[in-house]
Every structure is written in C-alpha cells, then in structure tokens.
Structure 1
Amino acid sequence: MTKRKICVITGSRAEFGILSNLLKEIKKSRFLELQIVVTGSHLSSDYGETKQEILEDFKINKEVEILLSSDTRIGVAKSMGLAIISLSEVFKELNPDIVLLLGDRFEIHAAATSSLIMGIPIAHIHGGELTQGSWDESLRHSITKLSNLHFTATESYRKRIIQMGENPNFVFNVGSLGVESIKKIKLISKKKLEENLNFSLTRNTIVVTVHSETNELGLESGIITNLLKAIDFIPELRVIFTLSNADVGGRKINKEILNFVSLNKLRAIAFESLGKAKYFSLLSYIGGVVGNSSSGIIEAPSFGIKTLNIGNRQSGRIRASSVSDCNRELESIKKELKKFVDKIFSLEDVQNPFEKKNTANKIIKVLIEIDLKELLSKSFYDLL
C-alpha cells in the first residue's frame, strides 16, 4: 500500500509546539508519510530561528523564506503574497495527498490559498474558535472555508464550523493537541530549570506573553506599555517574558520588553523561545500566566495556575474558571496583577474544556481512512 503523503506547514514556535506530538505519530505510521515545510519566523534570527527545535526530531523537506524586515501591514501583506507563490512551487514538487494546517496565522492562510489552487485537500486543526481582537478571527474562518477536513478542540467549535456550511461528516471534535501533549512530555525538575534559565522560580513568578491586537488600527502594541508600568508597581513579582511573534507591531512590543528587562535584571528575563519542554515545566512551578496568548487559555488551566488575559485578542474563546480578563487600562491591570501576589483567587476543581483523550490518534485515524475523492467534491452544507 502506498503511503499517504501528509504535508505539514509550520511557521511559528507556538504552532510547532502544539503539532509536535502529532508529527511524531504521523512519522511512526505505516500508512502515512510525513512532509514538513518550514516558513515564517522559524527561519528568522529576529525570532530565535526556531527551526533548530524542529531539526532535533524531524527532517525538514523544504524551507520557505517569506518574512520581510518590516512588520507593518504592508510588510505582512507582501509576505503573504510571497508565501502563496513559493508554497505553490513547493506543493507541485512534493505532491502531497493532504496539506495539514493548524491555527490562523497569515502564513497559514497563504498555505491554504495555495493548496486550494493546487487542488490539494486541506485538513485544518483548531477551526471554529473566536478571537475577536485580532485579524486571526477572519483568517481562521477563511481557512475553514478553504479547508476540506476539520479537527476542532471542543464540540461548540465543531457546531460553529457546521454552521458555516461544512459537512458534519468531515468535522471532528478531537480536543486540543497542546493539552494532550502536557501529559506526554517529561517535565524538567525545578532545580535544573532554574539553572538552565539562570532565574529563580517562586509562586510570585509569572510568565508574560503579549502579541499584537491586529484589529486595533494604530494600537496593535498598546497593551505592553501599561502592562510594564503595572509590573513596575508590584516589586514582588518576578517576570519571565516570551517575546512577541511576527505580527504587525511585534518588534515594537519586543523592544519595550527588552528595555524593561535591561532596567530590571534582578527580577525580569526575556526569551525569544523557550520550547515546549521548558515552557510546560515552567508552568508547573510558577504562579500564573499573563498577557494575551492563547496558551494562557488553552494549556495553562491544565497546570492549575491562574491566567490573566488582557485586552480583546482572545475575546470569544471558551475559558476555564482559572482564566480572568481585564481591559488594557493601567489601573485595571494593576488591580488584577496584585492578586498574583495576594493570592486572592480560588483554583479548586479547575476543568480544562479543551481536554479530550487520544487527540493525536483520532486525527491519525481520520487521515488514514478518509476518502480523498469525497473530500475534494466539496459542497455547502445547508442547515435549512
């Protein structure tokens, strides 16, 4: 039996961290052949050149440079155009049976567009979700309509995709790959992690990740200034920053963070990328997660720690009881951050709504058994 070729596109550290266990299962399968195409911030020294993390476990079939030196809106639009052109050539050469995509970043949308035009069915992970504070919202739903096969993280997200006209026979609620991988990863001991990071960890330590609110024209990086001021008001907090991604305004966010760290070296440190093992291990020993990253909403609740979500980027996502929200105003952020020191919150009986069993195996089974001809003959599924 000829192996079915599954071409996976990855353009960022966060997305690869979520995908990595699934990629290992595809690699082990007797019925599937794994192809990996690396693009986006993985190939940029400005964002840690994280392709090295991929090479530790996998062969990279193709590298596609698309990032310009600009993180303006025009720069992102040009990068998308370059990605469509380059990925079309890659797909022609690799000739995959299915293109597997996760999430909603601009390079993933470009990959979906290219795959559609090249006549290759698309399997999409993490569709149906809402993030009303960023253009990811529109990109995600657009990718859903370009895709043929869907793997969602909750049942409500599955229903939303069907509501968008997708055939229920091709929409599967499998849970979150990121949450499943927490149970499979070997965590680093606190002592070794502190030595590795050169930073002591306490329950007053928080991890901060801030990305652009791309729907806020002219205010994409607006959260970080007030967040840093608020942290300044609470000297008991120790802070580990993971730097922003390659979105509009990302470089400005990172510049402010690095400046703050340079002035607060005794209690603050920043990393371009921690990698999955260090990041998940870190969540085991600290007080909580702050910012507007999806990780604070999807993965952090599984560690029984607090998440403070700031602003609108994640508006609409389902939340565990450990997640609280505040606006981007200074006083609002200060009030909520103080709770990390005072421990004024309850984390009893936190249930993660994104957790299901055997997520990767369920995806593998569908990828092996699905009829490709049926996938390509796509029509609108009307609820009426």
Structure 2
Amino acid sequence: MPLKKMKESILKMSHNFRRKICIVLTTRGNYAKMKSTLLRIQENSELELQVILSGALATEGYTQYKLILEKLGIYNIHIVEYLINGASTKGDMLESGALATGAIGKSLMMLSPDIVVVIADRYEALSVAFAATCLNIPIAHLEGGEVSGSIDERIRHAITKLSHLHFVSNTYAARRVFKLGEKKESIYIVGNPSIDLIRNCDTGAVDVLFDYQKDNGEGFVDYNEKYLVVSQHSVVSELTDTARQINETMKVVKSLALPTVWMLPNPDAGCGEIESALFRFAENSNPGNIVFYKSMPFELYALLLSNSLCLIGNSSSGIRECEYLGVPVVNIGSRQNGRERGENVVDVNYDAEKIEEAVRKQIQHGFYQTNYIYGRGDAAENISRILASTEIILNKEIRY
C-alpha cells in the first residue's frame, strides 16, 4: 500500500472512535472565545473533550476559571504552569514561551489527543502549535487569516502553516489563508465563537455588575449612570513607547471625568509598566468614579460593553464583539491595524487631544447598526460538527 494511502487509512480508522479534542486555554479572551465551543464538543457523542488550563489562567489571580469549567460539567482539565514573572518583559516572554512548549507538550504526550485546537495569535499559541507539530498531532486553528499589528501578525500566519483545519471568521480571512497555500477544503468560514455567547446574553440587567464589582473591582462605578470602558494592552513591538501610550489615554480619562471601567492588560511584555502607571494614576489622582478589573466573565463583559457609552483602547473586543453589539469604539494605535472593522470603530494615534475628540464624537453618535462581520452566533455548532466529521491527513503539501 502506498505510504500516503496508508496514512489516510490510519486516520479514517481513528474516526470509528470518539475523537479526542484538546483545547488549550491561556487567557480570559481564550475562554470567552471558546466557551460555546467547549459546550458543543462536550455534548457531541462523537467527541471527547480535553482542556489544558494554562498561562494566566493557571496563576493565582485566575483560579476561578477551573471552577467555572467544572460548573459547566467539564472535568477533564489539566493545569499547566509556564509563566515567568507574568511574561512582563521580552526576556520573560521568551522564557515563558520556551517553557510553554515543553510543559504543554508533556501534557499533550500524556493526553494523546486526535486534534489540538490552537486559538488565535499569542506567543504561547505558537508554542502549542510547535509542540503539537513535533508530536504529530493535527492542529485546528481559530482566527487564522486575519490582519493586525504587533508580533501577533507574524505568529498568526506561522500557525496557519502548521495547521490542518482553519476555522476563520469571514471571507476576507478565508481568502488570505488560501493565498498562504492552504487547501480550500481545509478552510471553514464559521464566524467567531465569542459572538455565540453575545447572541444569548441578557444585555439589560446591570444589577449583576454591582455584585461582581463588590468582590472583584478596585474602585467604584455606578452602572446606572453613563460610563466608559477602557481596555488597552501593551504592543510588544513598541515597548519603548509603552509609558507614553498609556499616559495619553490616562490624560483623556482624567479630562472627560466620566465614570470609567478599566480592564487591566493581558500578561504580555510591557503589561507591568501599564499596571504600574495605572496604579500611580489611581493613587495620585484619587478618582472616585473609576473601577479596575483584572478579569471579568465574558457574559458580564458583554453586558458591560452593551451598556457603555464607548470602548477606548486597542482590544480586539472593540473590533469583534463591539461590532456585533453596535458599541461605539475609539481604537488607539497599531495593535488592530488591518483587521476588518465595522462603522462603529474610529481609529486614532496615541494623542490625547485626538483621542478625546474621537470619544466625544462617538458618544454623541451613539450605537451603530451591526454588519455581522464576525458571524451571527452559530460558530460553535459548525466547529463541533467539522471536528467530528472531517478526515485529516497529517502531512501537508503547499497548494501551488
């Protein structure tokens, strides 16, 4: 039997059993994206779900995520630690990425999944993809083919070339993955699974935000009043400018003097500098109408956004989830450069005067109509079905 045919038959034999699907979650954003997919895989009789809880979600400040998963009936959870000093410098991020490859790789060897789902474009996602490649485990990649700034852009396309299934958000992303040499039959336009959760969220009852603030917030905001949300992360390729970038945003928040919910940054190089600046800002300015959160369950975050005046910063939630919700967004800097966006997004540079002008215009405009750029809320159902039914040949060949 020819080698290629033999490999195909081995993969088809494994389809007679429950396929083991391993999903690696490392950030609050990962969980938000994957919750609906986790539940769909858990419900699918042809699939067996494995979860590796790692990165920030394996640290002391995020212990609630294991409990959250268990409340969903997900118990096949494996904790893997790799973060060095919160990966807050380039060196720490480099060491953390190296440790992630080895530590997550060992878990993959033990779990022996049929497919590993790799999420998006963070540095540790590349570590997961590299470990799976070395172990001959096929990879399904979420959010390939998108465009953005920072090192995410390079990492995302590198993972695409290591992956066997591509779950993309829209036709634009599908075309880019195809142009990277991937076979058309391996590319699936499913939308973004975070939209699944928003579709089913109750975006009216703000009482739960007060309850969550009581136990998890640093500061206070009255959610019955009009408020802003800020979510600004470090840009790893612009670390020497991190302090100036966050200072421009702090000037705007101080000048506007509106109640503000400030989400702390992801654990990337530069995050420590941002957090230190924010804590000094809170201490010196003594604002009585700002609350800081390390993290927030996604359904609450969607509720928070949907009742806000405007989201300010450089979070992808401004591009994806806010487009679906119609929330006005002022996107700052290069982090989301090139990503498909709706009319709800106004782009500005790190200039306090221009940021404030844009925020005031967005508040005056109010909510926008959605164009469903990132899907209509049925991604998880499609992903689960494809994972259960699609045959995968491990060795890839470039299409052209």
Is this a same-fold pair by TM over 0.5? yes
* Cα distance in 2 for residues equivalent to 1:363 and 1:176: 10
Q: Is the 8 A contact 1:221 1:253 kept in 2?
A: yes
1:52 is displaced (CA, Å) by 4.0
Structure 1 alignment gaps of length 5 or more: none
Task: Please say if 1:213 is aligned against 2:235.
Answer: yes
Correspondence for 1:12: 27
Task: Please say if 1:359 is aligned against 2:376.
Answer: no
Please show how residues 191-340 of structure 1 align to structure 2 within 5 Å. 191-198=207-214, 199-201=221-223, 204-235=226-257, 237-262=258-283, 263-340=285-362
Cα offsets for 1:339-376 (capped at 9, x unmatched): 35xx332644332311235211111111111113x2x1
Task: Please say if 1:53 is aligned against 2:72.
Answer: no
Task: Please say if 1:99 is aligned against 2:116.
Answer: yes
* Cα distance in 2 for residues equivalent to 1:347 and 1:189: 18
Cα offsets for 1:136-188 (capped at 9, x unmatched): 11111111111111000010100100100111110111111111221123456
**CA 1:279–1:252 in 2, change beyond 3 Å: closer, same or farther?**
same
Task: Please say if 1:189 is aligned against 2:209.
Answer: no
* Cα distance in 1 for residues equivalent to 2:48 and 2:316: 30
**CA 1:192–1:360 in 2, change beyond 3 Å: closer, same or farther?**
closer
- Describe the SS at the equivalent of 2:147: coil
Alignment counterpart, residue 146 of structure 2, candidates 125, 129, 139: 129
Correspondence for 2:365: 345
- Describe the SS at the equivalent of 2:51: strand
Q: Is the 8 A contact 1:304 1:322 kept in 2?
A: yes
Q: What is the RMSD of the two structures over their aligned residues, measured on CA atoms?
A: 1.9
Cα offsets for 1:79-116 (capped at 9, x unmatched): 11111111221111100000011111111110000000
Q: Is the 8 A contact 1:203 1:285 kept in 2?
A: no
1:60 is displaced (CA, Å) by 4.5
Q: Is the 8 A contact 2:97 2:124 kept in 1?
A: yes
Amino acid at match of 2:380: A
Q: Is the 8 A contact 1:226 1:330 kept in 2?
A: yes
Higher mean C-alpha deviation, range 187-196 or range 223-232: 187-196
Correspondence for 1:179: 195
* Cα distance in 1 for residues equivalent to 2:132 and 2:28: 22
* Cα distance in 1 for residues equivalent to 2:275 and 2:209: 23
Q: Is the 8 A contact 2:118 2:139 kept in 1?
A: yes
- Describe the SS at the equivalent of 2:207: helix
Correspondence for 1:3: 18
Amino acid at match of 2:234: S
Q: Is the 8 A contact 1:13 1:273 kept in 2?
A: yes
Alignment counterpart, residue 74 of structure 1, candidates 76, 87, 91: 91
- Describe the SS at the equivalent of 1:344: helix
- Describe the SS at the equivalent of 2:50: strand
Cα offsets for 1:255-286 (capped at 9, x unmatched): 22233334344210001011112111112221
Amino acid at match of 2:262: F
1:218 is displaced (CA, Å) by 1.6
**CA 1:211–1:60 in 2, change beyond 3 Å: closer, same or farther?**
farther
**CA 1:55–1:260 in 2, change beyond 3 Å: closer, same or farther?**
farther
* Cα distance in 2 for residues equivalent to 1:32 and 1:51: 21
* Cα distance in 2 for residues equivalent to 1:3 and 1:162: 30
**CA 1:209–1:31 in 2, change beyond 3 Å: closer, same or farther?**
same
Alignment counterpart, residue 156 of structure 1, candidates 151, 164, 172: 172
Correspondence for 1:38: 53
Cα offsets for 1:278-319 (capped at 9, x unmatched): 111112221121100000110012222201100000000001
- Describe the SS at the equivalent of 1:14: helix
Higher helix residue share:
2
Q: Is the 8 A contact 2:325 2:370 kept in 1?
A: no
Correspondence for 2:389: 369
Identity %: 28
* Cα distance in 1 for residues equivalent to 2:106 and 2:186: 28
* Cα distance in 2 for residues equivalent to 1:273 and 1:217: 23
Cα offsets for 1:228-255 (capped at 9, x unmatched): 01111112x1110111011001111122
* Cα distance in 1 for residues equivalent to 2:42 and 2:328: 35
Correspondence for 1:378: 396
* Cα distance in 1 for residues equivalent to 2:43 and 2:244: 44
- Describe the SS at the equivalent of 2:236: coil
* Cα distance in 2 for residues equivalent to 1:350 and 1:187: 16
1:46 is displaced (CA, Å) by 5.2
Higher mean C-alpha deviation, range 290-299 or range 69-78: 69-78
Alignment counterpart, residue 156 of structure 2, candidates 137, 140, 146: 140
Q: Is the 8 A contact 2:198 2:299 kept in 1?
A: no
